[in-house]
């Protein structure tokens, strides 16, 4: 494992991080309007309902935007060993956006419009973060 910074786990986001540790993607969905909600919140940003449930969405999406990180600025030096790497905002097929590193392709080959699938990277014992891998 690495010395990468660990996420701050709170009562609100704990279901997400518990699922990530099992290499599963869980996000909130509003029971009133049916929309997916990312990042974890106490109420739906679309209709205001507090009636949210944790569900497993489809794990595929399309890269909306991407940048290539080449310099570590104010973060853990553990990232330096992996430079350069691509970070993308992904439009998931169920209608929400999430971001993460893109693995399995050279950073300069990662482009908007690329189809990806969520995967998980273990960064510490019992802690995994979502990453993306290109679809064939």
| End-to-end Cα spacing for the chain | 28
In the DSSP assignment, the letter for residue 94 is T
Q: Tell me: the pLDDT tens digits for 41-73?
A: 999 999 999 999 999 999 999 999 999 998 876
Structural domains of the chain sorted by starting position, each given as residue range(s) with its CATH number in brackets? 7-57 (no CATH), 58-136 (2.40.50)
Whether 35 has a pLDDT exceeding 90, the answer reads yes
Supply the pLDDT for residue 109: 97
Question: In the β-sheet with 52-55, what is the strand arrangement from edge to edge?
Answer: 36-37, 27-30, 52-55
Residue 136 CB partners (closer than 8 Å, separation 6+): none
CA distance 100 to 5: 14
What is the SS3 assignment for 19? helix
């Amino acid at each position: 494992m690495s010395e990468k910074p660990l996420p701050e786990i709170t009562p609100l986001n704990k279901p997400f991080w518990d699922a990530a540790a099992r290499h599963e993607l869980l996000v909130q969905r509003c029971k009133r309007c049916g929309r997916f909600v990312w990042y974890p919140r106490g109420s739906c940003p679309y209709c205001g309902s507090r009636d949210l449930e944790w569900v497993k969405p489809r794990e595929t999406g399309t890269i909306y935007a991407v940048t290539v990180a080449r310099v570590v600025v104010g973060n853990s030096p553990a990232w330096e060993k992996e430079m350069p790497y691509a970070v993308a905002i992904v439009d998931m097929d169920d209608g929400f956006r999430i971001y993460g590193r893109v693995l399995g392709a050279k950073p300069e080959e990662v482009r908007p419009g690329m189809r990806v699938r969520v995967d998980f990277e273990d960064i510490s014992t019992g802690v995994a973060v979502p990453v993306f891998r290109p679809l064939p």
